[in-house]
Amino acid sequence: LRQEWGGLDILIHAIAFAAKEDLSNPYSQTSRRGFFLALDVSAYSLVILSRQAAKLMEGRKGAILTMTYMGSEKVIPNYNIMGVAKAALEASVRYLAYDLGPKGIRVNAISAGPIRTLAASGIAGFKEMLHYSSERAPLKRNIDAEEVARTALYLVSDMASAVTGEVVHVDAGY
């Protein structure tokens, strides 16, 4: 990347994983292995990728963006260990923003409302979540992937040059 394009401008982190049994069983039954796996894949991966990306962003205005979910702030049935992992991810955003800010690198997260995705299909009761969310959101609807993408474009662009360490909610106001 450095040789071909002079470095890196943007890193988008959009990876998360938890074992199915750690989502379907009560949170109190989360295995130690499942806990470590969810936090390693879903939160620590941002730390290590940011560390490496920062080296390629030296001398540039870099932007790092990750994806989170409201389950980090409130209990969402059947989200379980992923809520804890997303809370760790959001804390990592703030600490990385602090560490990388002096280098001109911004770090933010988008907390998207429920969207029909492959990952969402693994969450029990997801259809009910969509219905519940659209009924209660101030905009009285769900969101779509394009709305999340537009917010991502804003956050990694110069239009958000003074925004770092933030979790931006894209959820129709829910």
Spans in the chain with pLDDT lower than 70:
119, 122-123
Q: Is 79 a catalytic residue?
A: yes
Q: How high is the pLDDT of residue 40? A: 98
Asked if 23 and 82 touch (Cβ cutoff 8 Å), the reply is yes
Phi, psi of 77 (to 5 degrees): -50, 135
- pTM of the entire predicted model: 0.93
Q: Considering 44, 69, 95, 132, which one is annotated as catalytic?
A: 69
- Catalytic residue chosen out of the listed positions 79, 95, 98, 174: 79
User: How do residues 109-139 score in pLDDT, each as one tens digit?
Assistant: 999 998 877 767 766 777 888 888 889 999 9
**Crossing angle between the packed helical segments 81-100 and 45-56, to the nearest 10 degrees:** 20
Cα distance from N-terminal residue to C-terminal residue, the chain:
39
